[in-house]
Chain A
Amino acid sequence: MDPQLFFWIAARATGLASYIALCLSILSGVALRTSVLDFLAKNRQLRSLHDFMTWLWIPLGAAHIVTLVLDKTAQITLRDAFLPFQVGYAPLQIGLGTISLDIFVVVTLTSWLRRRMADRLWRWIHRSSYIAFLTLFLHAFWSGTDFDAPLISAVSWSAALGIGLLAISRMVFGRLPE
């Protein structure tokens, strides 16, 4: 397989896989406070899963960026991965993904430094994950090459709607009754 073709296909595959990994990460995080997954496991196991998911989405997200940088057709530089709205042909669509990555990086770093931070500050930074997920979804919706495929679209929309419903119920009801 031509290397450029491989980079292009790998970029699309790792993009979707990192999206799913992030969905699982957020879902397990929201479940800690909403008890919606209590039928599946207790909070201790869910917390362990939430922490573990970081080690799935980080390499996949990194692979998504690296393959896009290596792919000549995409015309994305390493700077575009961290500075939003710099790409010439689709600054908004790609910039949303950049914003999402930036926020997720901050959320992850502050989680590792949680013991050295004020709890209130950490919580507010951690809540910005919802904004990061929203921008990630819009990035996938507006720039995802395969987003119009029925199965991929169904999976992406289902994951987003599920997380959206849980986030709203978390804000409105707090911890859901068992």
Chain B
Amino acid sequence: MPSWALKLSAVFITLFTLAGSFGYASAHVKNANAPLQPPVADRPAATSAPATATPVATIGPLLTLRPGQKTPTVTPGPKLTLAPGVKSATLAPLTFTHTS
């Protein structure tokens, strides 16, 4: 078999694989059984807030401990970062009235 025929066959096989796998991946965008599941990146909460809702710069205590109650271990939530030009209002701080 001449050299050019070998190369042409190799190009065809590779491009066929490329097109086939592109089509397969397009049809199966998500694979729940995929071995790697990258953690979802944190998204800034402030970007999705409507323009009328004014975020506050600080929040109050998240929960009130009863006497004798141990301090729960909680992971810190996403931090709110105000974009330049966003004004804070004089509203009452956000609080949670329940514990779980």
B is a partner of A: yes
Given B3, B17, B22, B40, which contacts A9 in the complex, CB threshold below 8 Å? B22
B10 within 8 A of A: yes
Cβ of A151: which chain B residues have Cβ within 8 Å of it?
Answer: 24
- Could you say which residues of chain A place their CB within 8 Å of the CB of B31? 145-146, 148
* Bound-state Cα–Cα, A149 to B33, Å: 10
**Stretch of A38-46, A106-114, A117-125, A163-171 with 4 or more beta carbons under 8 angstroms from chain B:** A38-46
Contact with A49, one of B3, B18, B22 (Cβ below 8 angstroms): B3
Chain B residues within 8 Å of A, Cβ to Cβ: 1-3, 6-7, 10-11, 13-15, 17-19, 21-22, 24-26, 28-29, 31, 33-41
With A8-B29, A48-B7, A56-B14: A41-B1 Cβ-Cβ less than 8 Å: yes
A146 touches B28 (CB 8 A): yes
Q: How many A-B residue pairs have CB under 8 A?
A: 101
With the chains together, A146 CA to B22 CA distance in Å?
11
**Contacting B13 at CB < 8 Å: which of A20, A90, A145?**
A20
Query: Which residues from chain A contact B41 at a C-beta distance below 8 Å?
Result: 72-73, 75
What is the number of residues of chain A that contact chain B, defined by CB distance less than 8 Å?
A: 43
Main SS of the interface on chain A?
helix
Instruction: Tell me how far the C-beta of B14 lies from the nearest C-beta in chain A, rounded to whole angstroms.
Output: 5
Chain A residues with CB below 8 A from B36, complex form: 89-90, 93-94, 143, 145
Find out whether the CB atom of B38 lies under 8 angstroms from the CB atom of A89.
yes
| Min C-beta distance of A96 to chain B, whole Å | 12
* Contacting pair A40 B1 (CB below 8 A): yes
Contacts of A28 in B (CB 8 A): 6
Does any Cβ of B come within 8 Å of A29's Cβ?
Answer: no
**Chain A neighbourhood of B34, CB < 8 A:** 145, 148
How far is B90's CA from A52's CA once the two chains are assembled, in angstroms? 70
